[in-house]
Amino acid sequence: MGRLDGKVALVTGAARGIGKGIATELAREGADIVICDVLIDAASSTASELQNDHGVSTLALEMDVTSEDSISTNVERAISEMGQINILVNNAGVPPDNFGVDETEADWDRCYEVNLKGIWKVTSAVAPHFKEQGGGKIVNIASIAGRLGGGMASYSASKAGAISITQSQAAELGRFNVNVNAICPGLLWTDLWRQIEGMFAGDHTEEVVDRRERFEAVIDANMPLQREQTPEDIGKAVAFFASDDAKNITGQALNVDGGMRMN
């Protein structure tokens, strides 16, 4: 028996990386999973993998969290094919292409559109369904970058916004029995982080992108537990917030970061 037996979870950006780790942990707890991503081929193969490994029902949908049309069509399809949605995980996110004073307006717009307004748009599409069915769980994936500025102002500001919107949504939706919490992941060696390495080096070739020295140095210098986080770590924290074990927790942002930020 899993903690999420009989539940349906919709996870954005779940084709790979942290989103895939979240979808896997929710499936391990018994939830059926809707994998939403702009990368439909990768989303479909993640969906098949979860179905084979965990025996849950899955649905892969090509959804862009910046498009209201794409969101409403896909949320309706998820409800009609899976019967309900009980858990929403707003995970889709992007880094900027440039760093520091070189950040462009396009970097700011994209980080805001995906990382912050994406949370607002998808939640706005799912919330009426949660109200109608008498409750639901929302988990927003922010970042430790939202706790303290770094070199990527557009990204950090969008993630501070993700923590803030979590509190606003928790205040607004609590009376409808909807819990809204955030996770602030630390450092994970995913495609997103490889893009960040390319950006810092001003070079997106594979050798640069796959170099881990700087990533490991940041962990050694700043993380008391001295180890990187994994998609599974983030997924386990999401599974807790999505379960009834967390029924009296809302509006919180939990750092899963090896102790890098302590507030």
Ligand X SMILES: NC(=O)c1ccc[n+]([C@@H]2O[C@H](COP(=O)([O-])OP(=O)(O)OC[C@H]3O[C@@H](n4cnc5c(N)ncnc54)[C@H](O)[C@@H]3O)[C@@H](O)[C@H]2O)c1
Q: Please give the residue ranges that form the binding site for ligand X (CB under 6 A).
A: 12-13, 15-19, 37-39, 63-66, 91-94, 114, 141, 143, 185, 187-188, 190-193
| CA separation for the pair 180, 186 (Å, rounded) | 20
The one catalytic residue among 155, 215, 240, 241: 155
| CA separation for the pair 142, 55 (Å, rounded) | 30
Tell me the closest approach of the beta carbon of residue 212 to ligand X, in angstroms: 12
C-alpha atoms less than 13 angstroms from C-alpha of 138 in its C-beta half-sphere: 36
Residues 44 and 21: beta-carbon distance below 8 Å: no
Tell me the closest approach of the beta carbon of residue 73 to ligand X, in angstroms: 13
Amino acid at 25: E
Nearer to ligand X, 32 or 197 (CB): 197
Nearer to ligand X, 5 or 236 (CB): 236
Tell me the closest approach of the beta carbon of residue 1 to ligand X, in angstroms: 29
- Radius of gyration over alpha carbons of the chain, in Å? 17
Residue nearest ligand X by beta-carbon distance? 93
* Active-site residue flag, 155: yes
| CA separation for the pair 8, 25 (Å, rounded) | 13
C-alpha atoms less than 13 angstroms from C-alpha of 46 in its C-beta half-sphere: 31
Nearer to ligand X, 66 or 177 (CB): 66
Tell me the closest approach of the beta carbon of residue 220 to ligand X, in angstroms: 16
Nearest to 61 by CA among 107, 104, 117, 125: 125
Amino acid at 217: A
What is the distance, to the nearest Å, from the Cα of residue 120 to the centroid of all Cα atoms in its chain? 13
Tell me the closest approach of the beta carbon of residue 134 to ligand X, in angstroms: 28
| CA separation for the pair 29, 161 (Å, rounded) | 30
Active site residues: 155
